[in-house]
A and B are shown apart, each in its own frame.
Chain A
């Protein structure tokens, strides 16, 4: 259902530039909450981009802005060559064939009062304009694609397990052959075995259809396992971005390292490094009473390497090896006392910055 000639190899499927999203808070004269603060990203056809970060870091907000569900303050979103920055949710009929979504909550993502068949027919009728009988054939096809039995059509969502429901939600998203699916914590509510099943399903579907995923999750190992590239988000800003494998193996940014440190590993030596990093973050966080600076690095209150410059100047996006890192330590010209200590930092050998 793509409009012909809109994607040339040179232009990516999705391009988000300098995205800012502010949520208006309830109450009178409250300052709006900045959930996304100048995010850039691109995503090619058939690619999977992981977005990772702790709760409240703005991951979902990026997805929502993309889907027209969050108010974009500034910046631009371009999908398949079309600027959709300010296209409201209600006017997205023409975008819907390119862009679909799978949400986290397997219980809330399906309308409890409609049969699975009806739920799956919805996008077909609304977007593709299919009539009842062709829709039914397609629905059966979809159900087999997500490995659900035929008789699921007439059953209500409450008859299915969480994993099955997510597969139904995926089937719904796949129904119109979209180019991009936003998976917002699509597997986070499932148990580990089911997670793996669903991830494999997604991967198979990607192989068969060439769909791209914006894969949002808070678990770095899962994200890096499933994604081609990863974007580490903290307080609405991109801390580090690059190939999934390297970010997972050797996180560069102190925040990425903190994220990584939260995940247990089998190797004893690696364990020791991780424990040290965790303790450093805990010590830094406990020692620091100052809130995150408006100008400067948002991670400064928790960073073991925070220096004065980190509180006053926003770190530039600095290329490092095969990735981009927003940290003064990686920027030789930043004036950070440990600037140039990047290799040690990546190795987990850099001593905490003296206060």
Chain B
């Protein structure tokens, strides 16, 4: 198992390097000078030039890249052109809400989706129909619309949860943190819930139809034991894979929900930075997102391997 993880990591490291390079030069391609954007339309060319010099933007792109990469390797992604805040500080501050949202949503969809899929496959009939309906409905509703509905009902008409904003877990505690996240998590989860429930339903149906399950049933193994000790694990493999995919998808979906719920996350930060040509933050953000994707894939691979011995052998 350790060997397997190490092997995967060995593949991930060069991938990160490639992604870092691409993200740097991609951002360079965006037209417009950060200095001009910062100083605004009333700035004179002299002012713009001076600021570009002080930001180091007058150096050739390759020099800038080497500097940036050297810094990045030491965890220093430079400073925001606009706010002067270290980019890594800005990103880590913004990381918490985004991760909270994505992780909570993934846990919720995974848990609920597994239960729904299992119920649909095991009980069939009406339960199955109900699960299919709920799942399809969730996938059909655009998340911004659901967000608006949730805010209207659960924050405005019935003020159970705050309509917008974020509370830090560390400083404000679990209650406020969770209560600020309930609505965005629900809005974010609807789409993925259906996907995971359907995947789980298919996986359970497949596992339940296997002869080893029939053997267990026929030889008097209690249903619970069959389901939780034998079927769950095998059915989880495809579900975990899909969950990894939806997690990445979720990171994308987070951006719009952060806007609607005014969460100070990566999505909001990136949007603001793009609007103000704050390239250093955009570069760092792209790197963070790419790292997240690579990391999630790694976690999914390892999780699949630990669930399914066949993967490890290969």
Direct contact, A vs B (beta carbon within 8 Å): yes
- A127 close to chain B: CB less than 8 A: yes
Complex alpha-carbon distance, A122 and B223, angstroms: 14
Chain A residue with the shortest CB-CB distance to B206? A108
- B214 close to chain A: CB less than 8 A: yes
Complex alpha-carbon distance, A197 and B212, angstroms: 22
Set A95, A127, A156: member contacting B309, Cβ < 8 A: A156
- A94 close to chain B: CB less than 8 A: yes
- B215 close to chain A: CB less than 8 A: yes
- Residue of B219, B221, B223, B309 with most chain A CB atoms under a 10 A cut-off: B219
CB distance B309 to A126 under 8 Å?
A: no
Set B212, B223, B308: member contacting A90, Cβ < 8 A: B223
A354 → chain B closest CB, angstroms: 48
Chain B residue with the shortest CB-CB distance to A119? B212
- A93 close to chain B: CB less than 8 A: yes
Complex alpha-carbon distance, A156 and B312, angstroms: 11
- A92 close to chain B: CB less than 8 A: yes
CB distance A158 to B211 under 8 Å?
A: no
Contact residues, A93-120 vs B (CB, 8 A): 93-96, 99-101, 103-105, 108-114, 119
- B127 close to chain A: CB less than 8 A: no
Chain B residues positioned under 8 Å from A159 (CB to CB): 313
Contact residues, A107-161 vs B (CB, 8 A): 108-114, 119, 122-123, 126-127, 156, 158-159
Chain A residue with the shortest CB-CB distance to B223? A90
Chain A residues positioned under 8 Å from B230 (CB to CB): 111, 114
CB distance A111 to B234 under 8 Å?
A: yes
Given contact pairs A104-B211, A108-B212, A113-B234, A126 touches B307 in the complex (Cβ within 8 A): no
CB distance B217 to A69 under 8 Å?
A: yes
Complex alpha-carbon distance, A110 and B212, angstroms: 5
Complex alpha-carbon distance, A111 and B222, angstroms: 16
Chain B residues positioned under 8 Å from A111 (CB to CB): 212, 230, 234
Given contact pairs A114-B230, A156-B310, A109 touches B219 in the complex (Cβ within 8 A): no
Complex alpha-carbon distance, A112 and B313, angstroms: 13
Chain A residues positioned under 8 Å from B233 (CB to CB): 113
Chain B residue with the shortest CB-CB distance to A66? B218
- B41 close to chain A: CB less than 8 A: no
- B59 close to chain A: CB less than 8 A: no
Chain B residues positioned under 8 Å from A43 (CB to CB): none
CB distance A108 to B216 under 8 Å?
A: no
CB distance A126 to B212 under 8 Å?
A: no
Set B215, B222, B307: member contacting A113, Cβ < 8 A: B307
- B272 close to chain A: CB less than 8 A: no
A-B pairs under 8 A by CB, number: 77
CB distance B221 to A112 under 8 Å?
A: no
Set B218, B307, B313: member contacting A92, Cβ < 8 A: B218
Complex alpha-carbon distance, A126 and B221, angstroms: 7
CB distance B218 to A68 under 8 Å?
A: yes
CB distance A158 to B214 under 8 Å?
A: no
CB distance B217 to A96 under 8 Å?
A: no
Complex alpha-carbon distance, A94 and B222, angstroms: 12
CB distance B218 to A126 under 8 Å?
A: no
- B210 close to chain A: CB less than 8 A: yes
CB distance B217 to A89 under 8 Å?
A: yes
CB distance A109 to B309 under 8 Å?
A: no
Given contact pairs A112-B234, A113-B233, A113-B307, A122 touches B221 in the complex (Cβ within 8 A): yes
- Encode contact with B along A66-101: 1 for CB under 8 Å, 0 otherwise: 011100000000000000000001111111100111
Chain B residues positioned under 8 Å from A169 (CB to CB): 215
Chain B residues positioned under 8 Å from A126 (CB to CB): 219-221, 225
A279 → chain B closest CB, angstroms: 38
- A172 close to chain B: CB less than 8 A: yes
CB distance A158 to B309 under 8 Å?
A: yes
Chain B residues positioned under 8 Å from A127 (CB to CB): 219-220
Set B212, B217, B220, B313: member contacting A109, Cβ < 8 A: B212
CB distance A67 to B218 under 8 Å?
A: yes
Set B210, B220, B225, B234: member contacting A89, Cβ < 8 A: B220
CB distance A90 to B217 under 8 Å?
A: yes
A5 → chain B closest CB, angstroms: 22
CB distance A91 to B308 under 8 Å?
A: no
B77 → chain A closest CB, angstroms: 42
Given contact pairs A103-B211, A113-B233, A89 touches B218 in the complex (Cβ within 8 A): yes
Set A92, A103, A156: member contacting B214, Cβ < 8 A: A103
Chain A residues positioned under 8 Å from B308 (CB to CB): 112-113
CB distance A103 to B215 under 8 Å?
A: yes
CB distance A101 to B220 under 8 Å?
A: no
Complex alpha-carbon distance, A68 and B225, angstroms: 17
Chain B residue with the shortest CB-CB distance to A123? B219
CB distance B310 to A112 under 8 Å?
A: yes
Complex alpha-carbon distance, A204 and B252, angstroms: 63
Chain A residues positioned under 8 Å from B310 (CB to CB): 112, 156, 158
Chain A residue with the shortest CB-CB distance to B216? A122
Chain B residue with the shortest CB-CB distance to A90? B223
Chain A residues positioned under 8 Å from B307 (CB to CB): 113
Chain B residues positioned under 8 Å from A105 (CB to CB): 210-211
Chain B residues positioned under 8 Å from A122 (CB to CB): 216, 221
Complex alpha-carbon distance, A119 and B308, angstroms: 15
User: Closest 10 interchain pairs by CB?
Assistant: A103-B211, A92-B220, A67-B218, A93-B220, A96-B220, A109-B211, A89-B217, A108-B210, A96-B219, A108-B211
Residues of A at the B interface (CB closer than 8 Å) are 67-69, 89-96, 99-101, 103-105, 108-114, 119, 122-123, 126-127, 156, 158-159, 169, 172
Question: Would you list 15 pairs from A and B whose C-beta atoms are within 8 A, ordered by A residue?
Answer: A68-B217, A68-B218, A69-B218, A89-B218, A90-B222, A92-B220, A93-B222, A112-B234, A113-B233, A113-B309, A114-B230, A122-B216, A126-B220, A126-B221, A126-B225
Known: A92-B219, A96-B219. 5 other contacts (CB 8 A): A90-B222, A93-B222, A113-B309, A126-B225, A156-B309
